[in-house]
A and B are shown apart, each in its own frame.
Chain A
Amino acid sequence: EVQLVQSGAEVKKPGESLKISCKGSGYTFTDYWVGWVRQMPGKGLEWMGIIYPRDSDTRYSPSFEGQVTISVDKSINTAYLQWSSLKASDSAMYYCARRKQLWTDFDYWGQGTVVTVSS
């Protein structure tokens, strides 16, 4: 069974760093891209970036380039999304999802990670 399991909810203060994870199982992790999607409270889906675990080829949305870093550790089938200095506006739900090719759909999604940034 294909699964993407994300790390748990986080509560952080502005200026702190954070790294959340997404672990794939039930498929060959290096055969699929892993993307990250933000959903702010009551708002729509925003694509943040995507990484190919086999070679770490990464693409970022212009809206998020420089604001976050996407990485992967293929030895443990896990992708990461990290911030070096959180802002209150980073408070949101974050989803990871996989896609076979860069141009195809996100066929499986993680359960989401809630990030709350508050002083």
Chain B
Amino acid sequence: QSALTQPASVSGSPGQSTTISCNGTSSDIGFYNFVSWYQQHPGKAPKLIIFDVKNRPSGVSNRFSGSKSGNMASLTISGLQAEDEADYYCSSYKNTAIPVIFGGGTKLTVL
């Protein structure tokens, strides 16, 4: 059981938008603005796509956006493209003893 809860799968058609949720608690997502999102294609290492809730690293498409409300963070992917088909993981800071928690991952299928 993962510390953060994500839907196992989401899907969308090319050009549409889709949102992946990430539910935590008042001790992690609800308390800190240190939520990050990672994209992982099959057989590849994870790649950072969102940090500090809503910021994109250089080179990441602006079709990816992040937000947070209460204990839930969200990743929205607009204008879906075939290359967006991948697994997505959220992560949050929790405390100095357990600084990293991950969600269970969400498989995005582009129909």
Give the interface of A toward B (CB within 8 A): 35, 37, 44-47, 50, 59, 61-62, 95, 97, 102-107, 109-112
Contact = CB atoms under 8 A, between A and B. Distances in A.
A60 B9 CA distance: 29
Contacts of B93: 102-104
A59 B40 CA distance: 25
B97 A95 contact: no
Given A59-B96, A102-B96, A45 B36 contact: no
A109 B97 contact: no
A61 B2 CA distance: 13
Contacts of B2: 44
B60 to A, nearest CB: 11
Contacts of B103: 44
Contacts of B101: 47
Classify the secondary structure of B's interface with A: loop
B64 interface: no
A44 B45 contact: no
Contacts of A105: 34, 36, 48, 51-52, 91
A111 B48 CA distance: 14
A40 to B, nearest CB: 12
13 contacts: A35-B100, A44-B103, A45-B102, A47-B102, A59-B96, A102-B99, A103-B32, A104-B34, A104-B51, A105-B52, A106-B36, A107-B48, A109-B46
Contacts of B48: 105-107
Given A103-B32, A105-B52, A110 B45 contact: yes
A89 to B, nearest CB: 17
Interface in B71-111: 87, 89, 91, 93, 96-105
Contacts of B40: 45
Contacts of A46: 102
B46 A95 contact: yes
Contacts of B105: 44-45
Given A35-B100, A59-B97, A107 B57 contact: yes
Contacts of B97: 59
B45 A61 contact: no
